[in-house]
A and B are shown apart, each in its own frame.
Chain A
Amino acid sequence: MVGARRDEIMARMAMMGADIGKSNAEDYVDVEFFPDRPDLYSSEGVARALQGFLDLKSGLPEYQVSPGEIALRVDPSVEKVRPIIGCAVVRDLEFSDPAIESLMDLQEDLHWGLGRNRRKVAIGVHDISRVVPPFTYFAADPSFEFVPLDFEESLSMEEILKRHPKGVSYASILEGFDRYPLITDANGNVLSFPPIINGELTRVRDDTRDLFIDVTGTDPVVYKALNIVVCALAERGGRIEAVRVERPEGSLVLPDLSPARWKVDVEEARSLIGFDLSAEELASSLERMRFGARALLGRELEVLVPPYRADIMHSWDIFEDAAKGYGYDRLVPVLPKTVTVGEPHPLEVQKSDLREIMVGFGYLETMPFTLTSEKVNFEKMRRLQDDGTVTRVLHPISELHTMVRTSILPSLLEIFAINQHHPLPQRIFALGDVLDGGKTRQDLAAASIHSGADFAEVRSVVDALFRELDLNPEIVPSGDGAFLEGRRADLLVEGSRFGSFGIFNPQVLQSFGLDQPAVGLEVRWDRLWPAGRL
């Protein structure tokens, strides 16, 4: 379709911004484009862009729209439910099966990306020979019946939303409306029930030659989607014919394929890209990207944006295309001259001290997940849930990850549980974030498991830890359910608790499936250096 050699295309496509999939097949390759370029969702669109990038054709593609007689009247009743509609006719198409498939793929990709899963944009494609213009777009009563695509009997719109697979998938878009959008012909036959399903009547077959295209939605991006579809069909040899859309406030002739006209500043482009490109080089780079571009007197470029481009919001979007057209591989990287002095974050400095101390005690560092569950974080630990401090996620993906941890120790016990086949003693620690009332706090947790683990061991570690930190916290008996009564202690600073340690309550060990004694400690160390907090 492009008219160039395969390897050349592959090599250049990457520099155009495509992700090339791995393929060993001779005649087939998977290519992915970024979501900002829905015009590249069809092979026709990709061919058009490649022809420019490979210097086979350049500048703005010209599409003729011939005048037509067909009209569609927009009834004010659609204003609330789905106000915007764009239409066009494309004639003289040759539809082999792969071509129909390609059109369907483009339609689905547009529904998904630009259309936000049909909510914002939905596209219908019809065999126009089956219906009689003029057409009407209005909001009908849900009891209205017709034969939807892939069905043999007629269903009411209400039933379609409940029974038709597409109806079930997209019913939520029409939730809360008492009348549903519908496009009918002069005889009241249904073309489409947007954004749900077309009528069976206008199904596109391999003998279809002339198409009527409707695009409905809630945002003017509808007109872009229409342009993308008709331009792709025109690349396939179709003849575009205008449709008059009669809105209550006045008529539109669609599709509007006139290019948007931008004036951009050459100096601004040069300074953004950081490369000394002349106005002419910028213009020819843009032409390779299928823009129209010419240097104006002074320091400006006039740029014509192809009607199918939905991503040009700002002059920098145009400059990026100029840089791509020139070739990222031809730009020379330059280190900036900005002089600054780097500073580590105090929290990280403290973390690295703590890490050094714990490693010195012979503890292995671990880095468990911060997502956990109430079951692990509280229940198995015999700790009470304090709902005021728990950060739960609204739609957890598994019951293992329903909240962000408020303590690291449970994760260490989980690590012991999966490592029972390795020799003991095992001594591990972790430094990291916990959430306390939605605020990020810093904890250090450590645990040791072996047949001789007892309070004295963890007490020694706690003492040595605070000796190294040059701190002297108060140690008092604790009520922490995770540890065994009489062999557990709290750490206080200025009378308030910032950590605890002890020998784990055997019931806690049992709940994690452990059968050896273990001791542990956890401290909220950012309480010790308030200056280091977030």
Chain B
Amino acid sequence: MPKEEDKLSALSPRDRQVLKEILEGESDPNKIAERLGVKEVSVISSAEGLAERGLVSLDKKVEEVYSLTEEGARYAEIGLPERRILEIAGSEGVPISEIKDPSLKVGIGWLKKKGWATVEAGKIKPVGDASPGKDEEILAALLFQGETSGSALDQEALKLLKSRGLVESRAQKSWSFEITEEGRFSLRMAEESSRSSSGVLDYIAQITPDMIKNGVWEGRYLDYKGARYEVRPYDVALPAERIYPGKVHPYQRLLSRMREIMLEMGFSEIKGEIVQPSFWNFDALFQPQDHPAREMQDTFYLESRAEIPDYASVKEMHEHGGDVGSTGWGGSWDPEVSRREVLRTHTTSVTIKYLADHPNPPVKAFSIDRVYRREAIDPTHTPEFEQLEGVIMDEGLSFANLLGVLQEFYAKMGFEEVRFRPGYFPYTEPSVEPEVYIEGLGWVELGGAGVFRREVTAPFGIDHPVLAWGLGVGRLAMLRLGLKDLRLLYQSDVGWLRDAPVSARM
């Protein structure tokens, strides 16, 4: 390849085209783009590159441009409300009470402000000639010529119209280019060298199969069907069309990672029904039947009643404390209350049923599934959310073992610093609230844990300690994904999903 060409190879064909246009006196990128049949953004990008090399000088301006709002456009056609009232009033005036249309009423204040009319004894009386104001001129101008630079318009009147919501503005960037001496020289050099050195007849945009089969190639130069061609070089730094890959939901990636952690720690995954009888959701967990969490305000109840298993031992536990030395809740336990079905309020309903079916040690089980609470939607509450729950049942397990499992779990989740505070959950004793340390936030409560009460385990013949913990995953997702609004997880913004990088570490 000729040496002369090398020196100037930084000047791509696009650069040359743009430079040529500028040389010919065109300074508006939009017009250049139109003439070259390319996008304005690539002209600007090319011009910026040329400016960096000192081949063109470039002037960037930002100005406010104004246009009519929907309401403004309407008034530009039919007249401002105050103008229309004047038309109705004629020279005689008109009683206020006759101006009934709410869209007209707003004009009464303006009539007075503009000094076009007085209001006396409930009657609007025109004053003076009410000649067209600057504001009306602007409305007419904007209607006629569309978006217009603010510099050409009366500022006072613009401000007024903007405050009435009749015009709106946006910032518009504008550019203008001029070629420098060096630019002229480079362009001449580039054109001469490409003409003289390679003898290229024409540029090729797209390589065809036949060119590959039958052409003689030398770099990007091609002898084909008796002529010499050059494959047009591209400015590889120019942006291309955006494409969007299919992706797993960022929240699902977090859930999948949590599943992996649980599997790595030797837990087996369990699942259960969304609809549960109160028996498994509450009673089996020793929640008294008058417990506030069972009320309509907090739980989604269904019309349906379910069959429940033999409940004698659960009833006995609630009423008298069974034979584990508990006082029980007293009162009387009603199986009918227990049959009422709910949308599960926690995955613990699935866990306790699983333990009741598998009462022999060891058991290590977990679930990550959706649960339901009767909560109004706001940025930090949704009526359904995912909960992770893990349990271990084995001979000789202790509260200190629970703390050990929690520490391991949170460390795997990436939280090195964990502390344990006393907690309270109706079905565990002792109970604990793990907190993790997060830079910038301090100690953040992340879940709850405890040892299942004997009142919970005994009625199902579970005779060894059950360590259990759970956490609402949404809260963790907010921390990890930097979300301020939990709803975004469920009411997906496609832009957010497209922009969230797959590589973001959970």
Q: Which residues of A are in contact with B by a Cβ distance under 8 Å?
A: 14-17, 34-37, 113, 116-117, 119-120, 219-221, 271-275, 313-317, 319-320, 323-324, 328-329, 331-336, 338-345, 347-348, 352, 355, 358-371, 391-395, 397-398, 401, 404, 414-415, 418-419, 422-423, 426-428, 432-433, 435, 438-440, 534
Q: Which residue of B lies closest to A431 (CB)?
A: B252
Write out, one digit per residue, whether chain B residues 300-333 have a CB within 8 A of any chain A CB (1) or not (0): 1111100000000000000001001111101100
CB–CB A335/B421 < 8 A: no
Q: Which residue of A lies closest to B243 (CB)?
A: A362
CB–CB A342/B400 < 8 A: no
A395 touches which one: B248, B301, B304 (CB < 8 A)? B301
Q: Count the B residues whose beta carbon is within 8 Å of the partner chain — how many?
A: 96
A517 to chain B, nearest CB (A): 17
A17 to chain B, nearest CB (A): 3
Knowing A274-B399, A316-B454 are in contact, say whether A440-B275 is a contact too (CB < 8 A): yes
30 contacts between A and B (CB under 8 A): A17-B422, A113-B292, A116-B290, A272-B399, A274-B401, A313-B327, A313-B328, A314-B324, A314-B325, A328-B421, A328-B422, A334-B400, A334-B401, A336-B401, A342-B364, A343-B263, A360-B246, A362-B244, A365-B249, A367-B490, A369-B491, A371-B384, A393-B301, A394-B296, A394-B303, A398-B376, A432-B370, A439-B273, A440-B272, A440-B275
A49 to chain B, nearest CB (A): 12
CB under 8 Å from chain A, chain B span 62-84: none
CB under 8 Å from chain A, chain B span 248-269: 248-249, 251-252, 256, 259, 262-269
A365–B254 Cα gap in the complex (Å)?
13
CB under 8 Å from chain A, chain B span 267-295: 267-275, 290, 292
CB–CB A219/B404 < 8 A: no
A446 to chain B, nearest CB (A): 10
Name the A residues within 8 Å of B274 (CB-CB): 370, 404, 433, 435, 440
Write out, one digit per residue, whether chain B residues 365-384 have a CB within 8 A of any chain A CB (1) or not (0): 00000101011110000111
Write out, one digit per residue, whether chain B residues 222-263 have a CB within 8 A of any chain A CB (1) or not (0): 000000000000000000001011111101100010010011
A523–B304 Cα gap in the complex (Å)?
27
Q: Which residue of A lies closest to B445 (CB)?
A: A19
CB–CB A428/B494 < 8 A: yes
Name the A residues within 8 Å of B454 (CB-CB): 314, 316
Which segment, of B32-40, B164-172, B426-434, faces chain A?
B426-434
The listed residue with most B CB atoms (<10 A of its CB), out of A15, A220, A334, A352, is A334
Knowing A116-B290, A336-B404, A419-B495 are in contact, say whether A272-B398 is a contact too (CB < 8 A): yes
Name the A residues within 8 Å of B430 (CB-CB): 272-273, 316, 319-320, 323-324
Name the A residues within 8 Å of B494 (CB-CB): 364, 415, 419, 422, 426, 428
Q: A324-B430, A366-B497 are in contact. List 15 more A-B contacts (CB 8 A).
A: A14-B421, A15-B421, A274-B399, A274-B400, A313-B328, A334-B403, A335-B405, A338-B392, A339-B266, A359-B245, A364-B246, A367-B492, A368-B490, A393-B301, A438-B302
Knowing A393-B343, A394-B303 are in contact, say whether A371-B400 is a contact too (CB < 8 A): no
What 4 A-B pairs come out closest when comparing CB atoms?
A: A274-B398, A274-B400, A34-B424, A17-B422
A397–B247 Cα gap in the complex (Å)?
33
* B147 at interface, CB cutoff 8 A: no
CB–CB A438/B490 < 8 A: no
A246–B399 Cα gap in the complex (Å)?
47
A429 to chain B, nearest CB (A): 8
CB–CB B362/A17 < 8 A: no
A14–B175 Cα gap in the complex (Å)?
61
A400 to chain B, nearest CB (A): 9
* B493 at interface, CB cutoff 8 A: yes
B303 touches which one: A34, A113, A392, A432 (CB < 8 A)? A392
CB–CB B267/A333 < 8 A: no
CB under 8 Å from chain A, chain B span 483-500: 489-495, 497-498
Q: What total of A-B pairs shows CB separation below 8 Å?
A: 261
A328 touches which one: B265, B343, B432, B497 (CB < 8 A)? B432
Knowing A335-B401, A335-B408, A435-B274 are in contact, say whether A314-B490 is a contact too (CB < 8 A): no
Name the B residues within 8 Å of A120 (CB-CB): 290
Q: Which residue of A lies closest to B263 (CB)?
A: A342
Knowing A315-B325, A316-B453, A370-B384 are in contact, say whether A364-B273 is a contact too (CB < 8 A): no
Name the B residues within 8 Å of A343 (CB-CB): 263, 268-269
Name the A residues within 8 Å of B275 (CB-CB): 391, 435, 438-440
CB under 8 Å from chain A, chain B span 349-398: 361-364, 370, 372, 374-377, 382-384, 392, 394, 396-398
B457 to chain A, nearest CB (A): 11
A34–B465 Cα gap in the complex (Å)?
24
* B423 at interface, CB cutoff 8 A: yes
B438 to chain A, nearest CB (A): 15
* B11 at interface, CB cutoff 8 A: no
A402–B267 Cα gap in the complex (Å)?
35
CB–CB B491/A394 < 8 A: no
Name the B residues within 8 Å of A340 (CB-CB): 266-268, 362-364
CB–CB B400/A338 < 8 A: no
Q: Which residue of A lies closest to B364 (CB)?
A: A340
CB–CB A273/B400 < 8 A: yes
* B46 at interface, CB cutoff 8 A: no
B28 to chain A, nearest CB (A): 27
B273 touches which one: A275, A335, A534 (CB < 8 A)? A534
A314–B324 Cα gap in the complex (Å)?
8
CB–CB B451/A272 < 8 A: yes
* B420 at interface, CB cutoff 8 A: yes
* B406 at interface, CB cutoff 8 A: yes
Name the B residues within 8 Å of A333 (CB-CB): 400, 403-404, 406-407, 420
Name the B residues within 8 Å of A367 (CB-CB): 249, 251-252, 489-490, 492
Q: Which residue of A lies closest to B296 (CB)?
A: A395
Knowing A331-B399, A397-B374 are in contact, say whether A344-B328 is a contact too (CB < 8 A): no
Q: Which residue of B lies closest to A16 (CB)?
A: B422
A368–B256 Cα gap in the complex (Å)?
17
A345 touches which one: B270, B343, B372, B383 (CB < 8 A)? B270
Name the B residues within 8 Å of A34 (CB-CB): 423-424
CB–CB A534/B271 < 8 A: yes
